[in-house]
């Protein structure tokens, strides 16, 4: 936890907070925090700054906070992701939050197994929990939006053009037409398929809307690996 992330309910006064549970345990056991210590803190969807511990025991911690700075600038990127295997979801939610992605669309594709949509990791509370862990790691406060679309064709035909408007639209695919661009400085809409990639029909639907097909090379990467590699290259 590189940032103590605070909720509205934590505030007992304008500049005072009280925390319990996981965050208290982390302060006590990992940071070995004590009265007088100062930590980096931020308010969800708000500013960042400092928090000074006024009192801490096994039940709770009381802190004084001064939040005056803006959070890190988000990546100008919208990510469209074929729903990955459930066991990957937690890490992916944390990764995109840490790296500054603020809008994620989870979509259905031919190679997405129907059972994936039944995972409890897609419940709103479970998604939010993992996003918060990612924000704490990246010292950010702005929660990403996660939008779920279970039907590929209506999403592509009815929504995607508006989503990708005024951006550079890219679709990552193992047999893409060109290598992944490097060090861009513009808004991007990036579509990433499941392991093994999109099927040809799906790639064609993206290309019909002006998406450029890009590749990371001949190796097939796990989705959780491909995401940080692509983002690091695009915004190196």
Per-residue pLDDT of the chain in tens (236 residues, 90 and over written 9): 899 999 999 999 999 999 999 999 999 999 999 999 999 999 999 999 999 999 999 999 999 999 999 999 999 999 999 999 999 999 999 999 999 999 999 999 999 999 999 999 999 999 999 999 999 999 999 999 999 999 999 999 999 999 999 999 999 988 888 999 999 999 999 999 998 789 999 999 999 999 999 999 888 889 999 999 999 999 98
How many CB atoms lie under 10 A from the CB of residue 78? 21
What pLDDT, on the 0 to 100 scale, is given for residue 211? Answer: 97
For residue 47, give its domain range. Answer: 4-69
Domain at 205, CATH number: 3.40.1280.10
* DSSP element (H, E) containing 163: helix 160-164
Within this chain, do residues 34 and 112 fall inside the same structural domain, yes or no? no
Within this chain, do residues 202 and 101 fall inside the same structural domain, yes or no? yes
What whole-number distance in Å separates Cα of residue 117 and Cα of residue 155?
16
How many CB atoms lie under 10 A from the CB of residue 219? 9
How many domains does the chain fold into? 2
Domain end among 45, 69, 93: 69
CA-nearest of 50, 20, 17, 55 to 34 is: 55
For the entire predicted model, the pTM comes to 0.94
Output the six-digit token pair for 146.
């996660």
Within this chain, do residues 59 and 148 fall inside the same structural domain, yes or no? no
What pLDDT, on the 0 to 100 scale, is given for residue 218? Answer: 81
């Amino acid at each position: 936890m590189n940032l103590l992330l605070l909720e509205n309910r934590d505030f007992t006064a304008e500049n005072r907070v009280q925390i319990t549970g996981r965050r208290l345990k982390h302060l006590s056991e990992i940071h070995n925090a004590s009265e007088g210590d100062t930590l980096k803190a931020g308010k969800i969807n708000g500013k960042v700054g400092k928090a000074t511990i006024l009192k801490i025991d096994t039940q709770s911690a009381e802190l004084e906070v001064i939040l005056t700075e803006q959070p890190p600038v988000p990546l100008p990127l919208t990510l469209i992701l074929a729903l990955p295997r459930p066991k990957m979801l937690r890490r992916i939610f944390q990764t995109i939050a840490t790296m500054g992605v603020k809008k994620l669309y989870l979509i259905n594709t031919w190679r997405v197994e129907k059972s994936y949509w039944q995972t409890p990791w897609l419940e709103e509370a479970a998604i939010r929990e993992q996003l918060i862990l990612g924000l704490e790691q990246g010292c950010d406060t702005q929660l990403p939006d996660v939008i779920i679309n279970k039907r590929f064709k209506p999403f592509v035909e009815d929504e995607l053009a508006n989503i990708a408007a005024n951006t550079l639209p890219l679709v990552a695919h193992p047999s893409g037409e060109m290598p992944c661009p490097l060090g861009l400085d513009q808004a991007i809409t990036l579509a990433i398929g499941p392991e093994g990639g999109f099927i040809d029909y799906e790639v064609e639907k993206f290309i019909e809307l002006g998406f450029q097909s890009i590749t990371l090379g001949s190796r097939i990467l796990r989705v959780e690996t491909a995401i940080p590699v692509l983002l690091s290259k695009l915004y190196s």
